[in-house]
Structure 1
Amino acid sequence: MTLLKSAAEHGFVAVDQLQHDPELEPLHSHADWAKVVARVTDHHAKAKPPPMPLPVLESIDVSRSRRADRDSVIEILGLKVGQPVVRSRHLTKIREKQLRERFNLAYASIGVIAFFAEENVGKAFASVDLVDAEDAQRLNFLPAPTGNMYDPDGLLAQWQEYEDKVMKLVQDGRWNHEAPPSCRVAHCAFGFGHPDVAAYEPRFVAKAPGVRDALLRVLKEEANADRRASVPYVLGYAGTPEQVISWLVPFFRDPHAGVRNNVIRAVLAFQTHLEKPVVDLGTVFDVMAMPHVMDRNKGTYLLEAVLQKLKPEELAARRTEVLQKVGVLLVDMTESRQPINRDPAVSGLKLLSGEGFETSAEWRQWLSRRKL
């Protein structure tokens, strides 16, 4: 409480976070709690610009498990749809451990993603990823790197600096969400249209080709996951789309979910811009079988991108194989209210079926009629 009182006296403005942070709930009964809230509320009212409001939880997705039922998982999770969300890493780790121990799981991960633009602005979506003990082979990742590699020409630090500046612009309400990302390669995260970040891209264009091998060594050997996670973006400036894909695919099974997310995201972007499919469908199936929701949705977007590049006769020849491998998963994903999970699944099923269904019930009925 002493720290909170000090923060309140020194201009802390995030009253929503103060009131909804689960780690602060034990202090709500403290004699000084109401005074602290009142003081922070006063700062909040005077703040220019006003702080961004907390996202409100829209839905909770729980991945398929033979051991854990959805209601019990949500009870342990402790989140409530319709309420503002403050993420607590400490409590998240505790709840993940509770899930693993109660249901004998090989893996449990709780994630919350918030949207700050377009039609889902202000909404948060929670996902609980579970892997049953008997399915532990899904966790067969590359060995965790242990090295301390040098940063080639300081490009990775510059990329992280660029991302930090963009996040600050977003928080301050100075980032134009309507403008499409402007960059010289297929994927550059946010773009470089704002004058505060415009100077970064020319550095990547000029320097990345000369340090390609060093960047790949960082991705393979660097212990720091944040540095590895920057490599796919910078590497995109080092070669042709086909080359970048060939360099990144071997790292689809990086042991860190954030690194995998960026690797798959970059490959997806470059595959989307190519005329022919470069990524093998078997590789896509492997990505979709990985445990984290960001693996699955990026893998599903990648599936859609590959299917779109197939000739009609090629698509027809591979249809049964695709449905046998990932048909049930695609239909499961159509139940999600989180757009980045549901949308690619629906699009992929439409490509495979030629149907225009929208509801999960329709897709489940359609799949059940297929002789697989």
Structure 2
Amino acid sequence: MARRLRWLVPLMLLGGCAHHQVEAPHAQPPPPAKAPAAKATMVYRFEGIELFGTRKYTREELLAPYLAELPTAGTLLDMEKDGTAFIQALAKGKETIQSRHGFALIRNSVTAYAKDMTLRVTVDVVDLGDEWRLEYAPAPTGSVPEPDGLLAAWSTYLTRMWKLVNTGVISTEDTEPCRAFHCFYGPGHPELMQLEAPLLAGVPTHFETLVRMAHTDQDPKKREQAAYLLAYGPSREEVARALVPLMSDSNEAPRNAAMRVLWSVQEKADRPLVPLEKVLRAIHGPLISDRNKAAGLLAALVSKDTSQRGLILHETGEVLLEMATAKQVIERKPALDILRTLSGKDFGEDLASWRAWVQETRATQPPRAPSPNQR
């Protein structure tokens, strides 16, 4: 599971499992006093850098300026001491390729994995001519007051959760017992259960206000927080309806939050709850946080229904194949899950075989509906 570093560049997180309970739990007694937890190590093994999104240049051409600045793959990095220099090296590589080629967007994203203490970089680019990948809904201009201190309560919960993660008290593999339709880590820890009580009690009461905030507030941080809070809503269907519009949000943070929750919502649903065309568009998003959440969501959708296989492969086949070549597991795994489900086959990581299957299937199974992303 990916882990938060203080600096970062977007945090990439895999979706978690969820179930729902609207009643607030009984108050839990404070946990017994413990010796202070050891400070979590910030030493990661740098596993390399990869590039995604260009149709005009080779990966080798664009990554060369980065490789000239970064340590070699396999180097141990103490991010407490070396983090600033590492981020500066990434910024220099970005500046070099932008000055040489010009892109509609370049973004350096760092993903850290707590399980094996590794770190990998993805450089996302959007070519000139592909600006449609950056087209989202206009930024909202409204202002919705915080209902009943719920944003503050969520911030307190999240801050404490990350402290427990970063000191090794809870694991990023621990997502149960989850009392919402989406949970982060250690939801059964006594401290977090206490902090979650106002969310369980307050969100159903203020659900419509939070929906309005998520859709109309000008502050992207509030829209992001509202998206996570909506996971405590009254039903799976209502949560999905509330969050689908945020897949087109102008800011990456609300988009990421909404798709993370929707992925969890869809995984345990007995039928598709998210419009397929929205998910296919999201996979073409400009950032790893867009496509890895969208791919996880698509994997959950096709596990319920593979009837639109032709449309999916015509719309996203090339993107899925590119994701399947990634060394970032948060990209590779959901893409391969989708291909396995759609094909009923398992070629492992044999990309030549997957490409042959995608091309053959697209030739024999045209889209069943007009393509929403034809360019």
TM-score calculated relative to the size of structure 2: 0.78
What's the secondary structure of 1:52's corresponding residue? Answer: coil
Deviation at 1:362, TM superposition (A): 2.4
Cα distance in 2 for residues equivalent to 1:230 and 1:212: 13
The answer to whether 1:364 aligns with 2:355 is yes
The answer to whether 1:331 aligns with 2:313 is no
- Give the one of 74, 93, 101 matched to 1:82: 74
- Give the one of 320, 326, 330 matched to 1:340: 330
Cα distance in 2 for residues equivalent to 1:131 and 1:264: 21
What's the secondary structure of 2:104's corresponding residue? Answer: strand
| Change in 2 beyond 3 A, CA 1:371/1:177 | closer
CA contact 2:50–2:63 (8 Å) conserved in 1: no
Cα distance in 2 for residues equivalent to 1:189 and 1:274: 19
CA contact 1:297–1:344 (8 Å) conserved in 2: yes
Deviation at 1:74, TM superposition (A): 2.0
CA contact 1:149–1:222 (8 Å) conserved in 2: yes
- Residue by residue over 1:107-149, the C-alpha shift from the partner in whole angstroms, topping out at 9 and shown as x without a partner, is 11110011113xxx20112111111110101101222334554
Cα distance in 2 for residues equivalent to 1:70 and 1:64: 10
Cα distance in 2 for residues equivalent to 1:221 and 1:97: 34
The answer to whether 1:349 aligns with 2:348 is no
Report what 1:298 is aligned to: 293
Cα distance in 1 for residues equivalent to 2:362 and 2:173: 45
Q: Which moved more, 1:348-357 or 1:183-192?
A: 183-192
Q: Choose between structure 1 and 2: higher helix proportion.
A: 1
The answer to whether 1:61 aligns with 2:50 is yes
CA contact 1:64–1:130 (8 Å) conserved in 2: yes
Q: Percent identity?
A: 29
- Give the one of 96, 101, 108 matched to 1:103: 101
- Give the one of 246, 254, 263 matched to 1:251: 246
Q: Which moved more, 1:92-101 or 1:272-281?
A: 92-101
What's the secondary structure of 2:130's corresponding residue? Answer: helix
- Give the one of 217, 220, 245 matched to 1:222: 217
Q: Specify the code of the residue in structure 2 equivalent to 1:64.
A: G
Q: Specify the code of the residue in structure 2 equivalent to 1:250.
A: P
Report what 1:28 is aligned to: none
Unaligned runs of at least 5 residues, structure 2:
6-35, 364-375
Deviation at 1:233, TM superposition (A): 1.7
What's the secondary structure of 1:326's corresponding residue? Answer: helix
Cα distance in 2 for residues equivalent to 1:99 and 1:211: 47
- Give the one of 183, 186, 211 matched to 2:181: 186
Report what 1:26 is aligned to: none
CA contact 2:37–2:168 (8 Å) conserved in 1: no
What's the secondary structure of 2:245's corresponding residue? Answer: helix
Report what 1:320 is aligned to: 310
Deviation at 1:92, TM superposition (A): 4.8
- Give the one of 252, 263, 271 matched to 1:268: 263
CA contact 1:112–1:127 (8 Å) conserved in 2: yes
Deviation at 1:342, TM superposition (A): 0.7
- Residue by residue over 1:222-250, the C-alpha shift from the partner in whole angstroms, topping out at 9 and shown as x without a partner, is 34333321112211112211111111111
Unaligned runs of at least 5 residues, structure 1:
1-16, 18-46
Could you say which structure has the greater relative contact order, defined with CA pairs below 8 angstroms and 6 or more residues apart?
Answer: 2
Deviation at 1:358, TM superposition (A): 1.0
Deviation at 1:198, TM superposition (A): 1.4
- Residue by residue over 1:88-119, the C-alpha shift from the partner in whole angstroms, topping out at 9 and shown as x without a partner, is 466655544443332221111110011113xx
Cα distance in 2 for residues equivalent to 1:170 and 1:238: 26
Q: Specify the code of the residue in structure 2 equivalent to 1:328.
A: E
The answer to whether 1:115 aligns with 2:113 is yes
- Give the one of 43, 48, 62 matched to 1:73: 62
TM-score calculated relative to the size of structure 1: 0.79
What's the secondary structure of 1:101's corresponding residue? Answer: helix
Q: Which moved more, 1:77-86 or 1:255-264?
A: 77-86
C-alpha RMSD over aligned residues: 2.3
